[in-house]
Amino acid sequence: MNKQNQLTDIHRTKKPYIIYKSKNGFDLYTNFSKKIILNQKNIYEFLNKKRKKSFKKTDLFIGFFGYELLNNLIGIQLPKQKKINFPKGIFYKPEKKLSFSNILKYREDKGFKLNNQFKININRKSYSKIFNKFKKKIKSGETYQIKICTKYKTKSKLDPLDFFCRLSKTNLAPEAFLIRDVNYSIISCSPENLITKEGSLITSKPIAGTVKKNNKMNKLKALKYFRKNIKETKEHNMIVDMERNDLSRICQVGTVKLSKTKIVEEYKDLFHYVTLIKGKLKNKISNLDIIKAMMPGGSVIGCPKINTLNLLNHQEKENRNIYTGSFGYIKFNGDMRFNIIIRSILNYKDISEISVASGVVVDSNAKNEFNENYLKAKALIDLFK
């Protein structure tokens, strides 16, 4: 049996599985022997537990931390918000791993009825009110940059593997992943790596800066646009400085450096402004220390992080669930890789939600930021057509 047929067969068994973008294609994890649903109490045990070092490729836990749990981990309690009672985080221990090329083929099951009528939780008028409120906070010095989250929702019974395969063909992203479990799925084309840890070396790749692709905008012109655009440059510099500061808390003095500075990455509908930061960890830094220092990722929150989180949480009326949480794995030897969960569809109880956000700085324009949010959601909304 070839691997593409295996993919279809695993999907049709209804067994839970996870697909994660790798350097050479995709890795599929399944046959889970453990499923740990995280909460405020057991997360410490999960992150601090010592596990036997080994060389098996399945000796890892793979899954996600939700936004609320990551706030709780750094001492921030969220006010009462509208919730769907989705788990705060779930990690799985796989016993089987398969590797696939970048081209995923799947014999789609027919019969799924998709609804492409999305409702947005904040309309343009409401967005402008929130935007102006945060602009005042920026001018008063309470924050320097802040991300306003908007959600698009629709009721649909969807085939997550079909969505993920189509997404990987049209909008392949370096941190893409799929979780298919019995009662939920997450389909993601996330572009942003937050943590890659190998031994004592750690890297982070913040993304801050977005411009729409069109016939007149190629990669070189996008780079010129970002360099000349004061708003985009300020936003990028602030986020890079914040993540350098986060890394400096856990890295040896003088080792945190910019490896790739202000490069452009290309995606289906847009270009992104990206920097790569690296450092060498201090001795005796734990996985818990790393996650508390780096999460939630600053590029999707704003800066300064703690004060901005508090401002956001008291403004937003709905829980973010997975959005701006982190997905990835922790190996038994301590190595880890985590992204920032953006450009994702959470399907739970046949409700699909897509959350997006854009950064507000002192030079921002409400109309432009609202439109940028839709641009970020478009590649996912198009899957429902």
Among candidate residues 43, 150, 67, 77, the one with its CA nearest the CA of residue 340 = 67
Among candidate residues 193, 199, 194, the one with its CA nearest the CA of residue 280 = 199
237 within 8 A of 245, measured Cβ to Cβ: no
Residue predicted with more confidence, 72 or 299? 72
Burial 48-69 (b: 16+ CB within 10 A, else e): eeeeeeeeeebebbbbbbbbbb
Which pLDDT band holds residue 144 (cuts at 50, 70, 90)?
Answer: confident
Q: How far apart are CA 307 and CA 42, in angstroms?
A: 26
Mean pLDDT of the chain: 90
The whole model's pTM is what? 0.92
Which pLDDT band holds residue 24 (cuts at 50, 70, 90)?
Answer: confident
Report percent pLDDT > 90 for the chain.
Answer: 54
Is pLDDT at 220 greater than 60 in this prediction?
yes
What is the CB-side half-sphere exposure of residue 274 using CA atoms within 13 A?
Answer: 19
The pLDDT value given to residue 1:
53
Give the tens place of pLDDT for each residue, 249-265: 999 999 999 988 888 88
Is pLDDT at 232 greater than 90 in this prediction?
no
204 within 8 A of 193, measured Cβ to Cβ: yes
Among candidate residues 370, 380, 383, the one with its CA nearest the CA of residue 130 = 370
Q: How far apart are CA 361 and CA 298, in angstroms?
A: 14
Task: State the virtual CA torsion across 359, 365, 367, 371 in degrees, nearest 10.
Answer: -40
Is pLDDT at 43 greater than 70 in this prediction?
yes
The pLDDT value given to residue 5:
78
Fold (CATH) for 3-384: Anthranilate synthase (3.60.120)
Give the number of residues written for the chain: 385
Which pLDDT band holds residue 303 (cuts at 50, 70, 90)?
Answer: confident
* Mean pLDDT, residues 116-125: 90
DSSP structure class, residue 272? E
Strands in 2-144 per DSSP E:
17-21, 26-30, 34-37, 60-65, 89-93, 96-100, 119-120
Please give the span between the terminal C-alpha atoms of the chain, in angstroms, as a whole number: 32
